[in-house]
Amino acid sequence: MDEAYFTALIPRIWQALAETGLMVSVSFLLAGILGVGLGLLLYASRPGNLLENRVVFGVLNAVINIIRPVPFLIVAVSIIPFTRLIVGTSIGPLAATVPLVLVASVAIARISESNLVAVDPGAVEAGAAMGASPARVLFTIVIPEALGPLVLGLTYIFVALVDATAVAGVVGGGGLGHLAITYGYQRFDWFVVGVIVLILIVLVQSAQLLGNWISRRVMHA
């Protein structure tokens, strides 16, 4: 390993890190908005809740149950036509973002729903007893009370996204996973693989610590 080796490697790592950062942050942001929205809809349309609607609840529930168990790789490959339609290409970090958003949204929807459902029914009842409308109960009691565990759930999804981008890399998404495979694994350069794994560990660990800290700030349990 000489100086030339590093001058060639380091820019590649920076670029891969930037690609991974782009894929993870864009898909996390979009999936966060979509997923939490879907989770709220799922919760509110549950039998007995604010927007009780068997059809909406049933359809959402079924769609989520169908997508969730499918391995990410298969989702990514099978929605290629859709990806092309949206971003114009099926290769590169931007293209990888489409299946990432889909998979993460579905997971976040389910996590949001279960955290909302898990809110102490006593707190909900107290809200109703004080004269809060069902909508008010949802926004000023159910969501704030669910926020702590929800942040932990989102952190889990963030970490899963870092993992999924590595897989996305294999199918042409770029990023750290792609670099580890093409530059490291396929050339038997275990040093590169080691460095990338280390970067991923630091990334995941920081995300987890940040998530824990935020959830503690909002939970007060």
In the region spanning residues 60 to 119, those forming contacts with another protein, defined by CB under 8 A, are none
CB 130 to another protein: min, Å? 4
7 contacts another protein (rule: CB under 8 A)? no
Q: CA triplet 45, 120, 160: central angle to 5 degrees?
A: 70
What residues contact 73, with CB distance under 8 A and at least 6 apart?
167, 170, 171
What torsion do the CA atoms of 147, 151, 153, 157 make, to the nearest 10 degrees? 140
Are the CB atoms for 104 and 39 separated by under 8 Å? no
CB 116 to another protein: min, Å? 13
Tell me how far apart the alpha carbons of residues 182 and 37 are, in angstroms, rounded to a whole number: 38
10 contacts another protein (rule: CB under 8 A)? no
Total number of residues binding another protein (CB under 8 A)?
22
In the region spanning residues 128 to 187, those forming contacts with another protein, defined by CB under 8 A, are 128-133, 136, 140-141, 144-145, 147-148
CB 135 to another protein: min, Å? 11
Q: Name the residues that contact another protein, by CB under 8 A.
A: 120, 122-123, 125-126, 128-133, 136, 140-141, 144-145, 147-148, 218-221
